Structure 1
Amino acid sequence: MKLKMGLAAIAFVVGATGFAMANQDIIDLRKQIMKTNGQAAKVSGMMLQGQIPFDATVAAAAASSIAGSNAVFADFFPEGTETGDTKARDTIWSDPEGFAAASQATVVAAEAAAAAAADGPEAFGAAFQALGATCGACHEDYRVN
């Protein structure tokens, strides 16, 4: 919950100040959000592969972190931030509704994974696999690989 509120506050500040932040600062912020998502996914994957013990609280928190960041992620792509050190495809700006929908699909899948964590590693694993599919679909359409 704190992560959602923090990211929402950042999104509000970015939106309210327009281009007060340099484009590269916004791009760097987007990269950090994706890095944090990657770390949450890594911990989840390690639990599911038996590399670390499964902990339902940690699994739920990791998935909730991904849900929270994706709830506001589409807001971090204002016009003018399509150039610079970014892997964002032009389709983010040419299809903002599609990008927002893809980000929202990730939120829904991440929330489902967070809820499934309480039912154990098998349930979490199935939900986490669905989450990975939404992440992959978004990257395929909206990220330069």
Structure 2
Amino acid sequence: MEKTAARLGVPDLIGEIDLLVADSATGRLWVIEAKNPTGAVAPHALIQHIQKFTTRYRDKLLAKAATVAAHPNQAAAVCGVTGEYDWRVLPLMVTRTIEPAAFLADPHVPYITAERLTAVLANPADPEPGWIPATEPAH
């Protein structure tokens, strides 16, 4: 993947990007990391799980987002969007189940479950770091 990314104008990418979405209407380039974590209940297992998400997955996602931010037009072109845009690069962690690391005091990236991904991408507001709560429809 790194060689393919470099050939396409995004050099120095560390690892694969699970999903890259270029939304020219909002000027957002989403760098999405998708994980299917196993649950952890015991305190020791939960601590190890959170450490894996923060030191391995989250930090790699932030590094990938920084690389994309250094080459936003080239990254958007990989998605089929050409032209000059003022891109905002947004990292997003997507999991199958609710991720405990999303509830840390400073999670650094937004988290969402897969079934709500479309709603988050369609929302005109940029998400804040941490768990993205479901918004209730107006009554």
For Structure 1 versus Structure 2, the TM-score category normalised by the shorter chain is 0.3 to 0.5
Q: Normalized against structure 1, the TM-score is what? A: 0.37
Higher strand share: 2
Q: Which protein is richer in helix relative to its size?
A: 1
TM-score (normalizing by structure 2): 0.38
